[in-house]
Structure 1
Amino acid sequence: MLPGRIHHGTGFDREGLPYAPGRLSRDSQVDRAHTLGMGAVRDYDRVRRIGGWSLAALTLVLFATIPFSLAGGVTSRPGVVGPGPSWWIGLIVAGFALSGAALIQLRPRNWIGWLLVASGLLQATNVAADAYATRTLTDPDHSLPLGLAAAWLASWTWIPSLLLPVIVLPPLYPTGRPTSAFWRWHVRAALVGIGLIVLTAATSQGGVDDTVPGTRLPWDAPTWWVWAVGLSAAVLLISTVAVTVIGTLVRAIRAKAPERQQLLWLLSVVAAMLATVFTEYRLLFALAYGLVPVAVTIGVLRYRLLGIEVVLRRTLLYVPMTLLVALVIGGLTTVFARLVPEGPLPLLVASAVVAVLVVPVAGRLRILVDRLVLGERADPLTLVDRVGAGLEVEDDDPVASMLEAVASAAGTSYAVVRDVQGGAIAKVGDSAGVPLDLPLRHRGVQLGTLAIGPRRGATRVTEQDARLVTALAPHLAVVVGAARLTEELARERTRVTTATLAERDRLRRDLHDGLGPSLAGIALGLEAASTAHRIDPDAVPMLLERTRAEADVAVREVRRVLDGLRPTSLDLHGLEGAVRDTASSLGMGHPGGPAFELRADALPLLAPQVEEAAFRIVAESLTNVARHSAADHCAVRLNRANGDLRVRVFDDGRGLSPDAGAGHGLDSMRKRAADIGGSLLVEVASPHGTLVTAVLPLELS
């Protein structure tokens, strides 16, 4: 929270957020504090953007003062050394200032934009101050002030303008922050070194007389001061420059996409700029140097905007090959020209050697370049093997783990797996750009779809990434299929376990409450008969008759318990499979029997009592159809409606007889439905036949 934004009477909660007791609820205060914090961030970003463009405008204004300072033939005055700054320096200054301001506009908290603007401002300050000092110090009437101060300013401002982009920018590229503690200390050491060298140049006579000889500062620094500070600065600068160059190369080799491509882009642009330093065409160097900040800005914002990977691959391939061909031809023709001064033999020999070397060398170099620029994507089989190795690792959510591996291989931060209904199974990142949708099939079954987003900075998935994801999709489909089978197995195991426990509890109750008392009564009757045989023999026949009746009750109880046993087919195949088995056992769906059709929605896990009641009702209805209806077609529907399980059995047979009473089967079905809080309706179907509808609660009270 920002200081000065909290009013009197405001407190803080446990999370450190401000709230005013008695005025707003805590949640409202938290939301308000969050809103104020986001508003403050936006305000600071707006200030940064305005500051960036203001510095860029100041840079251009300073550079625009140079023609006024040098007007009237100032560079032709006696004592002036050099023709003055060339116009092409303006390309460099404008490139740094405008690129830095644009980067601050889009990434206001990225320090690279501020480095670019600062470098451009220092360069403009250097040439503008030098031009003003030239005019002031050579003016006959000395009417302009601060000429010596301008010369002093021009003597050292060029140093940080060059060293900041060279030493400090690469460790911060592309995020604007050092990637590790090592690079943070490196940046600090580089800034100290730049400060020491600037201090050395600013306190010594140095370059104040570069343009106007004889110009001197009003002080003379001690020799020991120049040597001590200058030597320390030289040691720091040389070491930090070496670490920057070598460290950036190591970062580029070790980094993953897209950071690797961004670092290689920076190195290639800097190398192209350095290559023009040694040419005689200063305008070419100015163009290359002025494009460095533009390239840096592109690398930070949209590294794929101009097909950087293609440029890098071709540059790193063709430049070494061109140098190789030039060196081989030049060296061999020089050697053979001494042996055979005349004739085309030296050139033919050199051409033959080049023809033999160029193909294998180009092949090996192409492989190395692709590995350097593309990383693992250079060899799709390596990615396939790495993703496939994830199948051997145990994970709580294998689909999410596999999807993350596929997204990493494709270089995208967004990927999602959806089932056939469109529901998300696993997701990585947030959607950006136009995704690529691929079907997930395993053993001919559609399991869902895989959606992969484009790489960062791109709007669409490239053809190479599409081929790679297409190759990885079957591996992911195997995992999705295995996860679905595992889920189904766990659900089926839960259902069977629940049904078994419920059946065991029912058997325990039936045996304890029904068969147990009957057997105890038989034992007591036999004991009473044995006693009566000794005391009252005439009572024995009556006691045996009562015992026999009790035995009959026990037999009926045993039959009732057996009849109430849960059907085995329910445990083996579930409700749908048990209905199909019952219909098949009754001859339905076979030649000579009625056609059979079963349609069932995706049902939740049913309670054992509900599942058994539904099966018993359907089984009894199918038995009636097979025995009494003479139907040609029978259909069963199982669906969920209004929180209930709706069971319907339809046949196109004779239908219900008007004078037929309610049989034992219909009474049994109604009783089974009523026992669990449901209902049963038997009615005449249209145009003929019978329709049995049972409505059973999905959840028992």
Structure 2
Amino acid sequence: MAAAVVLAGLALRFQVPGAYRSPQPWRPEHVMGLVYPAVGAVVLRRRPRLVVAWLVWAIGLLAALQVVLQPLSRWAVAEGATGAAYLRWAAFWIYLLEFLPLITLLPLLYPGGRPPSRRWRPLLWLVCALIAVNVVFAALLPMRYTVGPLRVDNPVGVALVGELAAWRRPMEWLTVAAALGCLASLAVRFRSGGPVERRQIGWLGYVLVAVLLLGCLDMVVATPFALWIVPISLAVAGVPVAIAVAILRYRLYDIDLIVNRTLVYGALAAFTGALYFGLIGAVNLAVSGYGALAGLAGALVVGLTFQPLRLRLQRAVDRLFKVERDPYRLADRLSRTVQQARDPAAALTSALASTRQALGVGGAAVEIGDRDGGVRVHGDGDTADLPQEIPLRWHGATVGRLLLPPGRHDARLAGLLARHLADVAHAVRLTADLQASRERILSTREEERRRLRRDLHDGLGPTLAALALSLDAARLRLSTDPASVSESLASLRERMIATIGDIRELVYGLRPPALDNLGLEGALRALADDLPEPRVDVVVEDADVAGELPAAAEVAAYRIVQEALSNARRHADARQITVRLRRETHGLTLVVADDGVGLPMTADGRVPRAGVGLGSMRERAAELGGSCTIGPRPGGGTEVVARLPLSSARGAPAT
């Protein structure tokens, strides 16, 4: 609708006689009438209660109304139509309803629709009062409107308002001061706001600064209309676009790059222009008649100094915005950031923030997969849409992925930073796995203690108490009925044998007796012989395995092999299983490999989450500070590899 009104205004201009026609065919109000209502409607669809969006929409409609009232009132005056004076009267003051809110209410209420704090409410009331006073004063002031060769009197002019004309200038200065106060509210918001709010203010502030600079330039320098109208129209049209970008947060973080490039190339243009024209002026003052040679010399000097000057200005602006482009300095800064963090998770968050700032993107995230198939995501900035993936590899193994938004960031720099992030991601995964293992170990230990307490309290305790009572009863009957005592003692002996069996089962649960009788190698061979099927081969690659081992390591190795053989027999459908023991400098290595069907895989090619048995093997290895990995065996089947650190027989710490 607003676009149709603007086009109608442009068409009406050609119906006005030439003597009554405005000398300026195009003004910023035409752009405002076209752009502001459209952008305001787009924002209102997403944020229907946003005051700033309603304000932009209303300013655009009023600008479109002014665009059509100007030629319509001129045509009516030229034709002598009825009501021409009222049309010209409305066209004179309606611009205040669009211009004054644009420079006062919009910056004061941006971006959330409220002043920065309650202390700014008096300024809001003052602005509203000044807008009303300015509009009423312009509407009721007795004056004559000039339309070509004709003069039209204000049909609603009030003589009392004309007597107050002396107050018009102070009121204008007060309005200017209020507008500057509203612009200052943006600076206050920028200083106290967070990263998102600062960038929202940066978008609007960037465009407003351009509008103010162009307006001041037009007042100071006599600029031709054709040269002035194009940049000022573009700058005015940029105000609602900047507001929409900031409020809807579409590519919000690009304002840093825009301001950076503007400062660099603006300063570069100023320096090179001053150098060129200064050199020409100096040559002409020193030696007259060599203007062409001076221009050539100036062009050569500017060409020689352009690239070094641009690099120096770029470094200065980068220091101002705390942006680093040297990959080696970035790597050093990233390393120092990681070293100063309190834990690996905080180090990854700091490293992500440095990476996002170095690449100039709005958001970045690292996705880390744990050993049980789960995924942890650490992000910084806007992580809603991150389609680009860079794998994070640590010693040949993929530990996670770096997720980045689509954009033209430096791929080489992103790959360099990804290598440093891989180390931090590996540390985060190790820390998380260690914490989870500790929690599972503590939980398993408490469950084992609870089971042992229950067995002792509910089973062995009452049994021993009953045996004591039976002994007391037999002792009392010994003097009165000695014949029955013999039968009671025989029954008591059978019950004691059964109790000894229960105690033996409890002890076997704590430590297998085969380890004490046969040693680790013999116990594993006995365990293999007890397995009816499939065939199990125990291979000892080092004779030192049979030497003295720590008790905890023996139990962990035995239980891991026992669980692995049980899983292979029940789930793998294997025909042959091989158990290998190897003692190395770092400790004891166990390998249990079968030729069965292998591990089940999910649809996305991952190993499903570990069950109780697999988790138990990992917990036993982690309790000693070792590791246990379960994966596919080359050639088919499953392979369990456990590495257990050992202490020497004399008690030296493990390597």
Cα deviation for residue 102 of structure 1 reads 2.4
Say if 2:463 and 2:499, in contact at 8 Å, map to a contact too: yes
Q: Residues of 1 paired with 2:143 and 2:317: CA distance?
A: 45
Cα deviation for residue 551 of structure 1 reads 6.2
Q: Is 1:411 aligned to 2:362, yes or no?
A: yes
Specify the code of the residue in structure 1 equivalent to 2:242: G
Say if 2:32 and 2:236, in contact at 8 Å, map to a contact too: yes
Shift in alpha-carbon separation, 1:497–1:580, aligned structure 2, 3 A: farther
SS at match of 1:242: helix
Cα deviation for residue 465 of structure 1 reads 6.8
Q: Residues of 2 paired with 1:401 and 1:179: CA distance?
A: 30
Residue in 1 aligned with 2:224?
281
Residue in 2 aligned with 1:583?
524
Residue in 1 aligned with 2:547?
none
Residue in 1 aligned with 2:643?
none
Residue in 2 aligned with 1:266?
207
Cα deviation for residue 483 of structure 1 reads 1.9
Specify the code of the residue in structure 2 equivalent to 1:241: A
1:367-446 paired onto structure 2 within 5 Å: 367-370=315-318, 384=334, 388=338, 391-392=341-342, 411-412=362-363, 419=370, 423-426=374-377, 432-433=384-385, 435-439=387-391, 446=398
Say if 1:59 and 1:121, in contact at 8 Å, map to a contact too: no
Specify the code of the residue in structure 2 equivalent to 1:256: P
Cα deviation for residue 554 of structure 1 reads 3.8
SS at match of 1:200: helix
Say if 1:262 and 1:299, in contact at 8 Å, map to a contact too: yes
Residue in 1 aligned with 2:242?
299
Cα deviation for residue 639 of structure 1 reads 10
Q: Residues of 2 paired with 1:104 and 1:384: CA distance?
A: 42
Q: Residues of 2 paired with 1:245 and 1:495: CA distance?
A: 64
Q: Residues of 2 paired with 1:474 and 1:417: CA distance?
A: 12
Residue in 1 aligned with 2:537?
595
Residue in 1 aligned with 2:40?
104
Residue in 1 aligned with 2:434?
485
Cα-to-partner distance string for 1:188-224 (whole Å, 9 max, x where unaligned): 5434323322222222235624755654335423455
Q: Residues of 2 paired with 1:453 and 1:63: CA distance?
A: 47
Cα deviation for residue 152 of structure 1 reads 2.0
SS at match of 1:595: strand
Cα deviation for residue 499 of structure 1 reads 1.0
Q: Is 1:241 aligned to 2:179, yes or no?
A: yes
SS at match of 2:24: coil
Q: Is 1:74 aligned to 2:19, yes or no?
A: yes
* Identical positions, percent: 19
Q: Is 1:231 aligned to 2:170, yes or no?
A: yes
Specify the code of the residue in structure 2 equivalent to 1:243: G
Say if 1:154 and 1:208, in contact at 8 Å, map to a contact too: no
SS at match of 1:567: helix
May I ask how many residue pairs the two structures share in their alignment? 531
TM-score in terms of structure 2 length: 0.62
Q: Residues of 1 paired with 2:353 and 2:508: CA distance?
A: 47
Q: Residues of 1 paired with 2:100 and 2:269: CA distance?
A: 32
Specify the code of the residue in structure 1 equivalent to 2:179: V
Shift in alpha-carbon separation, 1:553–1:309, aligned structure 2, 3 A: closer
Shift in alpha-carbon separation, 1:168–1:595, aligned structure 2, 3 A: same
Q: Residues of 2 paired with 1:459 and 1:178: CA distance?
A: 35
SS at match of 1:87: coil
Cα-to-partner distance string for 1:150-202 (whole Å, 9 max, x where unaligned): 23223323334433333333445566665655666655543432332222222
Residue in 2 aligned with 1:685?
none
Q: Is 1:500 aligned to 2:500, yes or no?
A: no
SS at match of 1:557: helix
Residue in structure 2 matching 1:562, options 487, 490, 504: 504
Cα deviation for residue 502 of structure 1 reads 0.8
Cα deviation for residue 366 of structure 1 reads 2.2
Q: Is 1:322 aligned to 2:269, yes or no?
A: yes
Say if 2:337 and 2:347, in contact at 8 Å, map to a contact too: no
Cα-to-partner distance string for 1:404-435 (whole Å, 9 max, x where unaligned): 96998663398765556764545779975452
SS at match of 1:437: strand
Cα-to-partner distance string for 1:586-642 (whole Å, 9 max, x where unaligned): 689xxxx94269xxxxxxxxxxxxxx9x979969x99xx9xxxxx97568899999x
Q: Is 1:164 aligned to 2:101, yes or no?
A: yes
Q: Residues of 1 paired with 2:32 and 2:499: CA distance?
A: 98
Q: Residues of 1 paired with 2:30 and 2:6: CA distance?
A: 8
Shift in alpha-carbon separation, 1:492–1:401, aligned structure 2, 3 A: farther
What is the RMSD of the two structures over their aligned residues, measured on CA atoms?
5.7
Q: Residues of 2 paired with 1:174 and 1:377: CA distance?
A: 32
Specify the code of the residue in structure 2 equivalent to 1:226: A
Cα deviation for residue 490 of structure 1 reads 0.6
Shift in alpha-carbon separation, 1:477–1:298, aligned structure 2, 3 A: farther
Say if 2:74 and 2:147, in contact at 8 Å, map to a contact too: no
Residue in 1 aligned with 2:260?
313
Q: Residues of 1 paired with 2:521 and 2:350: CA distance?
A: 38
Cα deviation for residue 367 of structure 1 reads 3.9
Specify the code of the residue in structure 2 equivalent to 1:511: L
SS at match of 1:145: coil
Q: Residues of 1 paired with 2:311 and 2:560: CA distance?
A: 74
Specify the code of the residue in structure 1 equivalent to 2:228: F
Q: Residues of 2 paired with 1:149 and 1:580: CA distance?
A: 110
Pair member with larger Rg: 1
With 501-510 and 265-274 compared, the bigger mean Cα shift is at 265-274
Shift in alpha-carbon separation, 1:387–1:555, aligned structure 2, 3 A: same
Q: Residues of 2 paired with 1:177 and 1:376: CA distance?
A: 36
Q: Residues of 2 paired with 1:469 and 1:260: CA distance?
A: 32
Cα deviation for residue 282 of structure 1 reads 1.4
Say if 1:376 and 1:382, in contact at 8 Å, map to a contact too: no
1:32-71 paired onto structure 2 within 5 Å: 54-68=1-15, 70-71=16-17
SS at match of 2:153: coil
SS at match of 2:389: strand
Cα deviation for residue 580 of structure 1 reads 10
Specify the code of the residue in structure 1 equivalent to 2:271: L
Say if 2:104 and 2:127, in contact at 8 Å, map to a contact too: yes
Q: Residues of 1 paired with 2:32 and 2:375: CA distance?
A: 47
SS at match of 1:565: helix
Say if 1:119 and 1:165, in contact at 8 Å, map to a contact too: yes
Say if 2:339 and 2:347, in contact at 8 Å, map to a contact too: no
Cα-to-partner distance string for 1:41-82 (whole Å, 9 max, x where unaligned): xxxxxxxxxxxxx234233323432222x23x433xxxxxxx
SS at match of 2:195: coil
RCO (CA 8 Å, sep 6+): is it higher in 1 or 2? 2
Say if 2:190 and 2:201, in contact at 8 Å, map to a contact too: yes
Cα-to-partner distance string for 1:335-362 (whole Å, 9 max, x where unaligned): 7876788999999999999899988875
**Structure 1 residue runs without a partner (length 5+):** 1-53, 76-82, 571-577, 598-611, 626-630, 648-701
Cα deviation for residue 496 of structure 1 reads 1.4
SS at match of 1:208: strand
